[in-house]
Homo-oligomer: A and B are copies of this chain.
Amino acid sequence: MTVSDAPPTMNDVAREAGVSVGTVSRYVNGIAVKDASRQRVEAAIRKLNYQVNSYARGLKTNKTYCAALILPVLTLPFFSLLAEEVTAALNRKGYRTVLMITNYDPEAERTCVSMVRQNKMDGIIALTYNPRTEFDPTIPLVSIDRRCEASRTCVSSDNYRGGEMAAERLLALGCKKLLFLRIGSDVSSEVDKRGIGFETACKTAGADYEMLILSDSETNEPFYRYLREHTADGVPDFDGIFCNTDRLALQIQRKLAELGVRVPEDVQLIGFDGVPDYLTGAPACSTIVQPVAQLAETAVNALLNADADAAPSLICLPVHFEAHGTTRE
């Protein structure tokens, strides 16, 4: 074992391994390199006892290769899949993901933002429910589903088109009286467009429809009351329902079963999300599928280009319909 005066550098590792400095850099930043190269770099690192000092690197290049992912919760399937995909997409770019969960608490969102600033992270991907959270204008930010500030990029599914597709599909399947059901935040967001697209398509088709939107209800009870009051002897006066999420669609399906209403025979039901159910590996209802992996990939690419002059304000990705038993086809 030799003792040298200066610690080994990335150049020394590259020379020892017989690869380019770029390859060593990619390896060190956690970006995939060819297996053969990786093995040689690892052997050279071991032989030279090379130590990357990311902190010194952070000071020097002003980059920490660390991005924050701010989500309200992790225990809804859309959020856990999104977190998994964002983590993978950041990792492919050599970035680590710092996970921050806010539980919908505006105070927690502010704490997250100040942690990002204090720790000089390189950027934020946020799905926030609080329009008043102030994001540091010097920190790159991409939002998902909710626009934070006009100058920032928001990435979302094409919610408007998804709403249209749901209405068009229910009508094409023979439904005569449509309902739209939504429960959730009254914070304005891209998600609102699911209902707006649906309503527009209903009007265009001259269809009979009703929009049931609860903003601050804690429970689905008002929906259940509506379903009961509009069902006589197991026969409902509606025959097509578009729910804002798959979760709500599945809850409504259970309630209809209790009322003796059959899905899809009596009522056809379409949800929104399309995240594979953990028991079956497929969505649990007919649904408008969000392209979660592409949302993550797009958000990460937008984040790394967030200082570009002409950053888009909104990037919408295409959705598609999939039948999974709650529609007749």
Residues of A within 8 A of B (CB): 28, 30, 52-56, 58-59, 64-66, 69, 73-77, 79-81, 83-84, 87-88, 91, 96-101, 111, 114-115, 118-120, 247, 250-251, 254, 275-276, 278-279
Contacts and interface: CB of A to CB of B under 8 A. Distances in A.
Contacts of A80: 74-75, 79-80, 83
Contacts of A83: 74, 80, 83, 99
B279 A247 contact: yes
A29 to B, nearest CB: 9
Given A96-B98, A111-B30, A278-B75, A52 B118 contact: yes
Contact of A98 (B59, B74, B97, B250): B97
A225 B24 CA distance: 52
Contact of A84 (B74, B97, B275, B276): B74
B115 A101 contact: no
Number of copies: 2
B74 A96 contact: no
Given A80-B80, A97-B98, A99-B87, A118 B54 contact: yes
A13 to B, nearest CB: 12
18 contacts: A28-B118, A30-B118, A52-B119, A54-B120, A55-B120, A56-B59, A58-B58, A59-B59, A74-B81, A74-B84, A74-B87, A75-B77, A75-B84, A83-B83, A96-B115, A96-B119, A98-B99, A250-B279
Contacts of A28: 118
A81 B278 CA distance: 14
A98 B98 contact: yes
A97 B52 CA distance: 21
A101 B75 contact: no
Contact of A254 (B96, B100, B279): B279
Contact of A30 (B53, B91, B115): B115
Contacts of A56: 59
Given A52-B119, A96-B98, 17 more contacts: A52-B118, A54-B119, A55-B64, A56-B59, A58-B58, A65-B119, A74-B87, A79-B80, A83-B99, A84-B101, A87-B101, A88-B101, A91-B100, A96-B115, A96-B119, A98-B98, A247-B278
Contacts of A53: 120
A256 to B, nearest CB: 14
Q: Which 9 A-B pairs have the closest CB atoms?
A: A80-B80, A74-B84, A52-B118, A99-B99, A54-B119, A55-B58, A74-B80, A96-B98, A97-B99
